[in-house]
Amino acid sequence: MGLAATNGDRVPARMHEPVMVAEVCELMLAHGPAPVVDVTVGAGGHADAMLAAGCPRVIGIDRDEAALAAAADRLAPYGDRVILRQANFSDMGIVLDELGIAAVGGILADLGMSSLALDDPARGFSFRFDGPLDMRMDRSQTIRAYDLVNEETESDLSRIIFEYGEERHARRIARYIVAARRRHPLETTAELSAVVTSAVGGRRGGHVHPATRTFQALRIAVNREIESLAALLEQAGARLVEHGRLITIAYHSLEDRPIKLRMRELVQSRGFSAVTGRPMRPGAAEVARNPRARSARLRCIERGAS
């Protein structure tokens, strides 16, 4: 399978529930089984479902070594029908070239955060748990949330929080962070959450935690998510066979907006057709069972005949 689980990072794959599994399988296998690349394979939930539904092979890519270890465990029964590689999805083309694969029948990109990482306090992604200010999807990279919070200028912090968190109080939050770090470095998620809360007050409408947008912004900046998504979208169309499909699942407008624009461009000028008009949304039963699915927006396009 290309990657074995490591003892220190093994996490049960059952902890993460993939989003809109039935819809993904139906869309991806509509024209019969074909090899698929899942560029955010995570713990292997979507890959497992697609393989069980008849997909002959899945190439799974993820930046997170712990998630790939879980995927290796979960997908082990499929043997050589699964290939796993640790990489940024912006490097999908490089991975496929190394495997000698020119094009695939489908590309799936579920851009949601894996529960395996989100619920691990040591990874520092969530204000719900006290942990180090890390937020790296790939723990071999050097830049952490700690570095941004404690070293960026006030203006750069404000820009990051505003652009990537769409936070209207970005300047005030940045000012409070800089004032707090003058006293001592901010090292934990609890410390940062407290500073943001003091800057903007308590919970907002809909019971949204005041630190939600700031944590999102820092995670996106640390992992260069917007740049990686742009690189993936630029190369995805050329990597599909005739009638191959690109499926994306986005969770906020920063992701969904460039996806919509790129898909529109491919449909209007590159011979693709829109499979979904408006984005598909999860049903009420799925949202009740898995609240993290509530903001998911699935889009799909298909490559036409050459």
DSSP 163-209: HHH--TTHHHHHHHHHHHHHHS---BHHHHHHHHHHHH-S--GGG--
Cα–chain center distance at 98: 23
Q: Which CATH code fits 7-116+226-303? A: 3.40.50.150
Q: Could you tell me the pTM of the whole model?
A: 0.90
User: What does the alpha-carbon distance between residue 126 and residue 220 come to, in Å, rounded to a whole number?
Assistant: 13
Q: Domain limits of the chain? A: 7-116+226-303, 121-224
CATH superfamily for domain 121-224: Putative methyltransferase TM0872, insert domain (1.10.150.170)
> Matching CATH topology for 7-116+226-303 and 121-224?
no
pLDDT by 10s per residue, the chain, length 306: 443 332 333 333 345 689 999 999 999 998 888 899 999 999 999 999 999 999 999 999 999 999 999 999 999 999 999 999 999 999 999 999 999 999 999 999 999 988 888 889 999 999 999 999 999 999 999 999 999 999 999 999 999 999 999 999 999 999 999 999 999 999 999 999 999 999 998 765 557 899 999 999 999 999 999 999 999 999 999 999 999 999 999 999 999 999 999 999 999 988 999 999 899 999 999 999 988 899 999 999 999 976
Token reading at 12: 């049960």
Cα–chain center distance at 196: 24
Give the CA-trace dihedral at 299, 118, 76, 246, to 10 degrees. Answer: 10
C-beta of residue 249 within 8 angstroms of C-beta of residue 255 = no
User: What does the alpha-carbon distance between residue 243 and residue 236 come to, in Å, rounded to a whole number?
Assistant: 13
Per residue in 107-151, pLDDT tens?
999 999 888 888 899 999 999 999 999 999 999 999 999 999 999
